[in-house]
Structure 1
Amino acid sequence: MMMKPPLFVTAIALTLSACAKETPRADEAEAPPTVGVFRVALRPVSAGIDVSGTIVAREEAAILPELSGYRVLRVLADEGDQVRRGQPVALLDGALLAGEEARLRAQRTSAQVAAERARSEHLRVADLTGRGVIADETIVQRGFEARAAQAQLQSAQAALREIVVRRGRLTLRSPVSGIIVQRSLRPGDVAGTGTEPPFRIARDGLFELDAEAPEHLLSRLAPGTTATVTLASGRRLTGTVRRLGERIDPATRLGRVRILLPFHPGLRLGGFATASIAGEARSVRSVPLRALSHEGGPSVMTVDKAGRVARVPVRTGARGGGMVELLDGPPSGTPVLLGGSALVVPGQIVKPVEGQP
């Protein structure tokens, strides 16, 4: 009779058999991963660019008091109000000028009386010259007195006119039509003592987006180009490139772009906005945007004929339609990884499969 093996021997044999079934084959473990690739090629890419910046007034005007030392009596306009040229926006207290004006009016009246008296005296003796009735020196003196009295009258009239002009300047008026974007004046303030203008106005209510663009992209823009501007609220406006800056910042290599915006109540001075500036499409060496990696600087992962992956630094240009222009980088025809490059390391062998951008 045959003897049965011990139970522990049977258990060990079953365990080894199960482990052998779970161990993958060597050829399956070493199979390269399949990755999607897209070849570098000449494709039409829009020459437009995306910029961001701050909303500013196209032309800003300041309302400054021409008289200082007078208290603000009333403020007639506030931020956001539309004003016309010459419209009153604030009144200064003219109590001090009122007393001065009354004094000068009295002086003018006195000078008028004195001038009339002196002229009458001169006319009364003017025809007696050479007749011996009165000394000629006296007649000449009367003429001098009449002229002096007339000069005194003119001086009093000029002083009165000046005080009337000053009284008119107690009313602060807008020098242009537009929208008030800032008010720092309050009732009770003393005019002319602050460093900020009491009022700042966006002339004609026109606002612009003051943005910056890379130096190499400015040449692709031109005044009059249409731009789609997106406000912080998400509202989109259609603007127009009005002016390109003549100067490039030597530190940032950026130039300024001014985009004129249509009137909209959602525009706020100093607000943030982005703009997509349209441009003509042109054929350039490009890759899909999702092939671009920014780790350690812009780069793409290329795949050679042996399936080996390599990281290649690139310099990009225009973007549009999900594509990005390569100013520097791999030549046309080179396969580049479309996505998932973080899962692949340089030097690794992969199985490339042509994909869609």
Structure 2
Amino acid sequence: MTTRSLIATALVSAALVGAGGTLSACGKKPEADTKAAATDQARAVSVTRVETRALGGGFKASGQLIPREEAAVGSELSGYRVANVYVEEGAWVRAGQPLAQLDNTLLRAQLAQQAAVAAQAEAEAKRVTGLDGQGILSQEQIESRRYAAKAQAAALAELQTRDRRMTITAPVSGRVLERTVRPGDVAGGSTPWFRIARDGLVELNAEVNEADLANVRVGQPVQVTVPGGATVSGDVRIVSPLIDANTRLGRVRVRLPLNEALRAGGMASAVFGASGVQVTAVPESAIRYDAEGASVVTVDSDNRARQVAIKTGQRGGGWVQLLQGPAPGARIVKNAAAFTLDGDRVKPIEQAAR
């Protein structure tokens, strides 16, 4: 082959290699351009995470301080004069301690008389022991004496019980909140003579609006402040199942420790803290509602939006409990109003939830 032929062959080969490289480059460029274009066209959205947190709390309420358990004490007897009253309002008493004494002078005389009658009837009944069926006395006479003995013994027992009730005693240990009886008063009527707060304990009967009541749980911490400025830590003891139809308020009993600043009948305000129950939750703003129900939009590892149906539970502080839905840690679109369709590629801008 001549030198000219060799040069021509080399030029042709170079041209072919160059053409192949150009074709190869032309084949890859559209794919890269497509991905870049898709990235540039993706909508930027704010995302946050599904969290595990305590819901409920942070709201205020007020109510009246009342005895946790109150004992009303009075006399079961009527017609007897009050001889002595032993305690005043504010006194601390123990269970069984005498509070007042009725005049039992007349009753004592009745007791002595009835004891004598009962003894005689018992003696008469003993005389007919063993005489049944012997004809000395009729069976009717024998049974009559035995019945009389039992009746007189019962009458004596009734007077003895009445005598014991002449002393009015405290049914529980605690603090006397009120005393309405005076020496010289006559027993009778239904008004209690004493009101006793068991163990001296007072609690708050708070009035909570219907929306906040849904977030209150037994054991939830509460800070209670009285008008004097003293603050006492307590916790929820009872959540009423009833909502007042007129005021739309429910009752919450807040357990409080023994404290001299807490006076039954006074008013107090309360700040309810978080319920302490940890639940899976998302911001309220992340939830979509449509004809098919509630849902959130998650963002997967490929930055594509996926609409996921959810079931919700309790609410509080701008958060909603997820009974069913994505797991804690999953990325979700923070604003449900963001226009994203299922399968859309997005540019996630992660923001910490507040």
What residue is the counterpart of 1:255 in the other structure? 250
For 2:275 and 2:77, the matched residues in 1 are separated by 55
* Residue aligning to 2:144: 148
Question: What TM-score, normalized by structure 2, do the two folds share?
Answer: 0.59
Q: CA deviation at 1:283?
A: 8.5
Query: What is the deviation of 1:88?
Result: 1.7
Q: Report the equivalent of 1:313.
A: none
Match among 264, 269, 272 for residue 267 of structure 2: 272
Aligned pairs for 1:111-260 (under 5 A) are: 111-119=121-129, 122=131, 136=135, 139-141=136-138, 144-193=140-189, 195-260=190-255
Q: 1: distance between equivalents of 2:209 and 2:123?
A: 77
| Pick aligned residue for 2:69 from 53, 59, 65 | 59
Residue 306 of structure 2 is matched in structure 1 by none
Q: Secondary structure at the match of 2:224?
A: strand
Q: 1:115 to 1:217 in 2, by over 3 A?
A: closer
Judged with a 3 Å threshold, the aligned counterparts in structure 2 of structure 1 residues 277 and 112 are, in CA distance, closer, same or farther, namely same
Offset of residue 72 of structure 1: 0.8
| 1:279-298 equivalence runs, <5 A | 279=274
State the secondary structure of the residue aligned to 2:106.
Answer: helix
Which residue type is aligned with residue 175 of structure 2? I
Find the residue that maps to 1:153 and give its secondary structure: helix
The 1:264/1:229 distance shift into structure 2, 3 A limit, reads: same
CA distance in 1, matches of 2:147, 2:57: 75
CA distance in 1, matches of 2:163, 2:228: 46
Match of 2:39 in 1: none
SS in 2 for 1:176: coil
Shift of 1:234: 1.0
Q: Identify unmatched segments of 5+ residues in structure 1.
A: 1-41, 130-135, 287-316, 320-324, 327-331, 333-357
**Contact kept? 1:180, 1:201, Cα under 8 Å:** yes
**DSSP 3-state at the match of 1:110:** helix
Contact 2:60 2:270 in 1 (8 A): yes
> CA RMSD for the aligned pairs?
3.3
**2: CA distance, partners of 1:117 / 1:47:** 80
Find the residue that maps to 1:273 and give its secondary structure. Answer: strand
- 2:325 aligns with none
CA contact (8 A) 1:185 1:198 kept: yes
Where do 5+ consecutive residues of structure 2 fail to align?
1-47, 286-314, 320-334, 336-354
What is the CA-CA distance between 1:165 and the residue it aligns to?
Answer: 0.6
One-letter amino acid matched to 1:112: E
Query: Which residue of 2 is the match for residue 352 of structure 1?
Result: none
CA shift digits 1:197-233 (9 cap, x unpaired): 1111222322210111221112222110111111121
Give yes or no for contact 1:114–1:149 (8 Å, CA) kept in 2.
yes
Say if 1:49 and 1:318, in contact at 8 Å, map to a contact too.
Answer: no
Would the aligned equivalents of 1:71 and 1:190 in 2 still touch at CA under 8 Å?
A: yes
| Contact 2:217/2:275 (<8 A) preserved | no
Structure 1 CA distance for aligned equivalents of residues 126 and 242 of structure 2: 69
1:47/1:140 CA distance change after superposition, 3 Å: closer
Contact map agreement 2:84 2:100 (CA 8 A) in 1:
yes
The answer to whether the Cα contact below 8 Å between 2:56 and 2:216 also exists between their aligned partners in 1 is no
**2-structure distance, mates of 1:66, 1:239:** 38
Are 1:82 and 2:78 matched, yes or no? no
2-side partners of 1:261 and 1:150: how far apart? 60
SS in 1 for 2:150: helix
Q: Which amino acid aligns with 2:116?
A: A
Letter in 2 for 1:186: R
How far 1:116 sits from its partner (Å)? 4.0
Alignment partners' CA distance in 2, 1:144 and 1:253: 72
Residues 51 and 283 from structure 1, CA distance in 2 versus in 1: closer, same or farther, beyond 3 angstroms? Answer: farther
**1:103 paired residue among 102, 109, 113:** 113
Identity rate, percent: 40
Aligned length: 237
Q: CA deviation at 1:285?
A: 8.7
Tell me if the contact between 2:56 and 2:215 (Cα under 8 Å) persists in the aligned partners: no
